[in-house]
Chain A
Amino acid sequence: MKKRLVLIAMALILISGIAIKPAVAYFTDTVSAEGMLELKVGDGELDKMDDSVENMVKKIAITNTGEFDVFVRAGVIAPDGVTVTMEASDGWTKGEDGYYYYSPIVAIGETSGKLNLKVDGGELTDFNVIIVQEATKVIYDEAGNATFDWNSAIQSQTDADLVR
């Protein structure tokens, strides 16, 4: 009889033990939100150079036809005896490496300002001047500043027959 009472008592303790625990509850709440964005990664793309000559001044503009903002620069290849000097050109500066650099970012679909180059052929009357256009996509650093790496530039060129 004693054993039976002990068993019943133990069973009651078990039941109350199991029942009490779930009764302990806390106030909680949860909310969530999500979003998705497509990332484009690739090289820049340049349209055919806008290139004209007036009074032996070459006027060059570079258009970004790619999917990324780019920095652009232009190089000039001219025969010996021909001198090329930059005339007033908004945003353009001549670098120590001989390239002409356009400092503003050329956004998608935009065109750079005009680069005006005065060509003096000296004794030559018929010669070629080759313009090389290069673009490199804008890279943003940790602080969000725009930088560039000209080692990964793409380029194209145009020949201009100049006759005095």
Chain B
Amino acid sequence: MKNKIKSPLILLAVGALIIGASTAGATRAAVVYQSQVERVNFSTAALSIDLLEEVDGEYISVGENGKLTFSEIVNDESFKAGKKYTENVKVVNNSNQSTGYSEYVRVVVRKSWYKDGKQTSLDPGLIKLTVADGWYLNEDETTAEQEVYYMTSPLGCGNGADFITGIQIDNKVTNFVETKPLMKEGVEIKGIIENEYLYNGENVYIQLQADAVQTHNGEDAIYAAWGVKATCDAADDGNIIEINGVYAQ
């Protein structure tokens, strides 16, 4: 027995078992931790954010049903390429008033063309949103389909901030045209041509995702929640000065 305990192989095996057991325990702890986070976020509503869209002159919450209506465009006879439409969307800190928590806010904009599925061959860059002042576009996270905007100052409890103010489809969509002979009932009509526009009948798809995180211990909170290194001018409730080492003001 004495010899067995002294054996380095046995000791190694015991050590491996201990580490293995500790890993399994940590995994279980992580699951518990996740459910606690969800309970904090959604049950106690200690920190909360909402998106409001202006519809026919009145701001309504779109956070619940998750649908943007684009009322000015819908009220026009048709969605016209090149025309700049007013589309007001704001973010609101609707956290529990008793806590009075401020929050850092970012909005992830995803846009694409859609017709029987996402059209990856069409340019999402032709869908242009006008963003209000006070938002910093992080180029590191920006792609043709995605833009990530950070509000550089904390959003106070009960306060709102304009985010989108307009929407426009670039006139270049009318440049993508193919000229074809006119066909009627499968027969080519000689001498008559028609233009076939690549973007005609395509749907513009826009998704806005607003994220909020606490302002206490802001830099660590932003890094943990969003994975970006922010530099704030104060440990709590400070303004964001830099994001990933780039001046953001």
Chain A residues packing against B (C-beta within 8 Å): 3-4, 7-8, 10-11, 14-15, 18-19, 22-43, 67-69, 107-108, 138-144
Contact = CB atoms under 8 A, between A and B. Distances in A.
B40 A27 contact: yes
Say what secondary structure dominates the interface of chain B: mixed
Contact of A33 (B47, B68, B82): B68
A149 to B, nearest CB: 9
Given A28-B211, A36-B204, 8 more contacts: A14-B22, A27-B221, A31-B51, A32-B66, A34-B208, A39-B79, A67-B78, A108-B78
B224 A37 contact: no
Contacts of B101: 27
A23 B33 contact: yes
Interface of B: 5, 11, 14-15, 18-19, 22-23, 25-26, 29-30, 33, 36-37, 40-41, 46-51, 53, 62-63, 65-70, 73-74, 77-84, 101, 103, 114, 168-169, 171, 173-174, 194-195, 197, 199-214, 217, 220-221, 224-225
B203 A140 contact: no
B86 to A, nearest CB: 9
A19 B173 CA distance: 55
B202 A38 contact: yes
B70 A35 contact: yes
Contacts of B114: 36
A29 B49 contact: yes
A3 B7 CA distance: 11
B56 to A, nearest CB: 15
Contacts of A18: 22-23, 25-26, 29
Say what secondary structure dominates the interface of chain A: mixed
B33 A35 contact: no
Contacts of B66: 32-34
Contacts of A31: 49-51, 63, 209-210
Nearest to B14: A7
A10 B41 CA distance: 36
A11 B81 contact: no
Given A31-B51, A140-B83, A43 B195 contact: yes
